[in-house]
Structure formats: structure tokens, C-alpha cells
Structure 1
Amino acid sequence: MDVPELLEAASLLVPEGLATENDITVRDVWEYLVQDEWEVALGLLEELGDVQPLPLDFWESLTDAARQMRLDRSAAWCQWRCSEIRIGVIRADLNLRPAEETGRHSPIPGAGVLRPMWSIGHRASNGEPALNIAFLWVEFALEIPPGGRASVRIMPLDASQWRHLNSGDVITMHEGGPAVGTATILEVQPSSE
């Protein structure tokens, strides 16, 4: 399918009464589709997808459309949302330690490319914390500077290891050595598949 067909297919999966807090609805999307404003329509559909869970087909169509338009960050975000449908959602408030405490002087990239290790309560046979790997997506920002704070989404490589977490739990982020940050779990949703 080409971009307009993919966006039309996705828009048909949005309930008609659904609206963002700015009162954007699927009717607004259709107005932009008629005007061949595909990038705007894609952005509006992404916003509508944040209002309530929408099916995997919705996010797959948006992923394909974003790829065809060469919108790499949007494609990565829509692919991330596909993965969340398959394995679940973990959102957290992440506080990074200052550079002088961790040795990390560069910001953490926000588009789901970093795979830090996390101490989430498991223990190795020797009693030491067992670390679990998960991708990290920074919400509402392109990156987090050392000492910074942001809402993040966490995508575990093995979701079964993370099922014990609940809102309010605190986990620590590691990059090979001491903890570089702590995260307070805000939301945990199981897979919707």
C-alpha cells in the first residue's frame, strides 16, 4: 500500500468519538488526507493513538507510512508502539545522576536505541543483583542530559522478568558500572495481544 492508503487504513481503526485533549478527531485527519498533507495526518494519528489503546494494525500501518515518507523518528516510535502491544507497557520517571558521579558526560539518546542494564529486584546465585537489559525511549524529549530527569518508556528484552513490577517501584539503571540513574515506575500494562 502507498502512504495515503496506509493512513486511511489506520484512520478507519480510530473510534469516531475519540478526541485528544486539543479536540483533534479522526475527522481532522481526513481533512489533511484530502489535502495530501500526509505528514500532518500521520502526526495527528500518532496523537490519537496516545488517547486510548488502538490495535496492532493501526500502529503497523503508521509504521509503514512513516517509513515510506522517510520519517525515521516517527517510524521508530510507531514500531515501538507495535512492540508495546506485543509485550506490554512500562513507563517510568527516570532521574539520571550527575556526570561527576557516573562518568557519563553525553546525553542519553531518546529514540529507543540505548539498551541499558537495570536492577529490578532479581538476584544472581551469588546474592549480587542480577541485571536485566531493556531499551529506553525518552518521552517528550530528544535526549536526557546527565543529571536530568524525564518520563521514559522501557522495553525489556525478556518481558517475563519484569512482570513483578508495579507503580511506585524504584529500579536502577546501569551502564557497565555503578548506577547512572533511578527510575520510579509510573505505569505497567500487560500485553494487549
Structure 2
Amino acid sequence: MALVLLQELGDVQPCPPAFWTLLADVARLLWLESDVVWYEWRRSEASAGAFLAELSLHDGGRARKAIAGLWVEGRVALEPGRCARVRLVPLTPEYWGHLVPGDVVTMHETRVAAGSARIVQVVPPVPMAS
């Protein structure tokens, strides 16, 4: 229960990467592996910033240049032709800094576009606590 309350605190206000690392460590001690993965994801968001977006997959394949980690909210996988809210953590931040809510990015896994995502929110990196 304490982890849930602390996570909710992190959802309300930006928390530094160390906060999420501590939650991941506690979850690891409690054998809550899915929570460990989520808290480590949130640590990445706090470190690099993130983009919340609505992603629609095309009925086809999925190349990367402006590379980002992808987390599909509320699902294990997103099937072709479906839409879902996603979280993107830029792995090449220099290609992402210009994006604002309303912008659309195209998803590739090959030369053919696999989907497109409309940016809903930009989450800046959280400064390291001193």
C-alpha cells in the first residue's frame, strides 16, 4: 500500500530519478517484478523527459532515427489497426526537443510507416536533487 501511495505522489508532482530508483528497489525486495519494471521506466522518464501521446498502428509493419523507448499504457501489446495512449522516452533527445502538444510523429520499424502518434503532453526531465 505504501508503494501505491508513493507512486501516486510521483504522479501528482515531478519526482527526481532517485525517488523512482528507491521505489524500484523496494518493489524488487517484495518480488513485485512488474512494479520494478514500471518504476525503472518512470526513472528513465524523470532522467530524460517523456512525451505522452496517442499512437495509432497501421495495418502493416513498424525504422528508427529519432529513437524512443515506448510504453503502451494499460496493455501488454498494441495490435495493428488499434490505438492506445503511450509514453515515449527519447533515446536521441536532440531529435525530440522541438516537439509540442499537437505535433504528430511517425513510427517506423522498416521504411514503411507503422503508425503515427499525436503528442498530448511534454514531460520535461526532473532535475537531480542536490
- The answer to whether TM tops 0.5 is yes
The structure 1 residue matched to 2:28, chosen from 59, 62, 67, is 67
User: 1:152 aligned to 86, 110, 127, which one?
Assistant: 86
Is 1:161 the counterpart of 2:95 in the alignment? yes
Which residue in the other structure is 1:5 paired with?
A: none
Secondary structure of the residue aligned to 1:80 is helix
- Residues 1:134 and 2:68 are matched in the alignment: yes
Instruction: Give the structure 2 partner of residue 54 of structure 1.
Output: 15
The change in CA–CA distance for 1:181 and 1:70 in structure 2 (over 3 A counts) is same
SS, match of residue 143 in structure 1: coil
Secondary structure (helix, strand or coil) at the match of 1:132 reads: coil
Q: How far apart are 1:78 and its partner, in Å?
A: 0.7
Residue 134 of structure 1 aligns with an amino acid whose one-letter code is: A
Question: If the length of structure 1 is used for normalisation, what is the TM-score?
Answer: 0.60
Farther off after superposition, 160-169 or 49-58:
49-58
2:104 is aligned to 170
Q: Deviations over 1:113-154 (max 9, x none)?
A: xxx62xxxxxxxxxxxxx222110011222211111111111
Question: Match for 1:191 among 109, 120, 125?
Answer: 125
Match of 1:77 in 2: 38
Contact 2:61–2:112 (CA under 8 A) maintained in structure 1: no
Cα deviation for residue 48 of structure 1 reads 2.8
Letter in 2 for 1:48: L
Show CA shifts across 1:56-81 (max 9, x none): 33211101111222222211111111
- Unmatched tracts of structure 2, length 5 or more: none
Structure possessing the higher relative contact order (Cα contacts under 8 Å, 6 or more residues apart): 2
Q: Find the counterpart in structure 2 of residue 86 from structure 1.
A: 47
Q: Go from structure 1 to structure 2 and tell me whether the alpha carbon gap of 1:173 and 1:189 turns closer, same or farther (over 3 Å shift).
A: same
Aligned-CA RMSD value? 1.8
Max Rg structure: 1
CA distance in 2 between partners of 1:185 and 1:103 (Å) = 21
The one-letter code of the counterpart of 1:182 is S
Structure 2: distance between partners of 1:174 and 1:64: 34
SS in 1 for 2:39: helix
Which consecutive unaligned segments of at least 5 residues does structure 1 have?
A: 1-39, 105-115, 118-130
Q: For residues 131-187 of structure 1, give each alpha carbon's deviation from its aligned partner in whole angstroms, at most 9, with x where no partner exists.
A: 222110011222211111111111121212210111000010011231110000011
The one-letter amino acid paired with 1:83 is S
Q: Deviation at 1:103?
A: 4.5
